[in-house]
Amino acid sequence: MTEPGTTTPRERYRAQVRAEIKERAREQIATAGASALSLNAIAKQLGMSGPALYRYFTGRDELITELIRDAYRSLADTFGTVVRSGSGADLAALAHALRDWALADPQRYFLIYGTPVPGYHAPDDTTAIASEIMTFLLDACAELPAAAAPSAFDRHVEEHRRWADGHPAPPAALHRALSFWTRMHGILSLELAGHFTGMGFDAAQLFTAELDDLLAP
Amino acid sequence: MTEPGTTTPRERYRAQVRAEIKERAREQIATAGASALSLNAIAKQLGMSGPALYRYFTGRDELITELIRDAYRSLADTFGTVVRSGSGADLAALAHALRDWALADPQRYFLIYGTPVPGYHAPDDTTAIASEIMTFLLDACAELPAAAAPSAFDRHVEEHRRWADGHPAPPAALHRALSFWTRMHGILSLELAGHFTGMGFDAAQLFTAELDDLLAP
DNA sequence: AGGTTCAGTTAGAGGCTATCACGACGAGGT
DNA sequence: ACCTCGTCGTGATAGCCTCTAACTGAACCT
Query: Per-residue pLDDT tens for A55-79?
Result: 999 999 999 999 999 999 999 999 9
Q: Are B216 and B145 in contact (CB under 8 A)?
A: no
For C20, which residue's CA is nearest its C1'?
A: B51
Q: Contact A201/B160, CB-based, under 8 Å?
A: yes
CATH of span A1-57: 1.10.10
pLDDT of the residue at A4 = 53
pLDDT at residue A191 tops 60 = yes
Mean pLDDT value of segment B194-198: 97
Cα–Cα distance measured from residue A37 to residue A116, given in angstroms and rounded to the nearest whole number = 16
pLDDT at residue A87 tops 50 = yes
Closest residue on chain B to A156 (Cα): B201
pLDDT at residue A7 tops 90 = no
pLDDT at residue B118 tops 50 = yes
Distance A11 CA to D29 C1' (A): 15
Q: Are B76 and B133 in contact (CB under 8 A)?
A: yes
A166 touches chain B (CB under 8 A): no
**Residues from chain B contacting residue A201 (CB–CB below 8 Å):** 156-157, 160, 163, 178
Domain boundaries, chain B: 1-57, 68-215
**Residues from chain B contacting residue A181 (CB–CB below 8 Å):** 186, 190
Cα–Cα distance measured from residue B141 to residue B176, given in angstroms and rounded to the nearest whole number = 6
Shortest CA to C1' contact from A41: nucleotide: D17
Going by C-alpha positions, the residue among B69, B79, B188 that lies closest to residue B136 is B79
Cα–Cα distance measured from residue B179 to residue A1, given in angstroms and rounded to the nearest whole number = 62
Cα–Cα distance measured from residue B176 to residue A127, given in angstroms and rounded to the nearest whole number = 34
B114 touches chain A (CB under 8 A): yes
pLDDT of the residue at B83 = 97
Element (H, E) at B94: helix B91-104
Secondary structure letter of residue A144 according to DSSP? S
Cα–Cα distance measured from residue A156 to residue A152, given in angstroms and rounded to the nearest whole number = 6
pLDDT of the residue at A146 = 78
Distance B40 CA to C14 C1' (A): 13
Check if residue B7 sits with its Cβ under 7 angstroms from strand D: no
Secondary structure letter of residue A151 according to DSSP? -
Shortest CA to C1' contact from B58: nucleotide: C18
B135-181 pLDDT tens trace: 999 999 999 987 778 899 999 999 999 999 999 999 999 999 999 99
Q: Are B161 and B174 in contact (CB under 8 A)?
A: yes
Cα–Cα distance measured from residue A157 to residue A167, given in angstroms and rounded to the nearest whole number = 13
A2 C-beta neighbours (distance < 10 Å), count: 9
Sign of CA dihedral A132, A137, A143, A148: negative
Instruction: Provide CB contacts within 8 A for A162, sequence distance 6+.
Output: B199, B200
Look at the domain A64-215 and name its fold.
Answer: Tetracycline Repressor; domain 2 (1.10.357)
**Residues from chain B contacting residue A31 (CB–CB below 8 Å):** 118
Alpha-carbon distances of A6 from A16, A18, A80, A203, rounded to whole Å: 15, 18, 29, 49
pLDDT at residue A1 tops 60 = no
pLDDT of the residue at B87 = 81
B33 touches chain A (CB under 8 A): yes
Q: State the nearest Cα–Cα gap between A28 and chain B, in angstroms.
A: 11
Sign of CA dihedral B24, B29, B31, B37: positive
Q: Contact A163/B32, CB-based, under 8 Å?
A: no
Chain D nucleotides close to protein (CB under 7 A) are: 7-12, 16-22, 27-30
Check if residue B198 sits with its Cβ under 7 angstroms from strand D: no
Shortest CA to C1' contact from A43: nucleotide: C8
Q: Contact B115/A33, CB-based, under 8 Å?
A: yes
Instruction: Given CATH 2.60.40.60, say whether it is the number of domain B68-215.
Output: no
CA angle B67–B72–B77, rounded 5-degree value: 120
Mean pLDDT value of segment B29-43: 98
Q: Are A195 and B113 in contact (CB under 8 A)?
A: yes
Check if residue A51 sits with its Cβ under 7 angstroms from strand D: yes
Closest residue on chain B to A32 (Cα): B118
A31-61 pLDDT tens trace: 999 999 999 999 999 999 999 999 999 999 9
Computed on alpha carbons and rounded to an integer, the radius of gyration of chain B in Å comes to 20
pLDDT of the residue at A5 = 62
Chain C nucleotides close to protein (CB under 7 A) are: 6-12, 15-21, 26-29
Alpha-carbon distances of B110 from A33, A189, B95, B162, rounded to whole Å: 15, 12, 17, 27
Q: Contact B32/A119, CB-based, under 8 Å?
A: yes
CB-side neighbour CA atoms (13 Å) of A85: 7
CB-side neighbour CA atoms (13 Å) of A165: 14
Q: Are A83 and A65 in contact (CB under 8 A)?
A: no
Q: Contact B182/A202, CB-based, under 8 Å?
A: no
3-state secondary structure A5-59: CCCCHHHHHHHHHHHHHHHHHHHHHHHHCHHHCCHHHHHHHCCCCHHHHHHCCCC
Q: State the nearest Cα–Cα gap between B156 and chain A, in angstroms.
A: 7
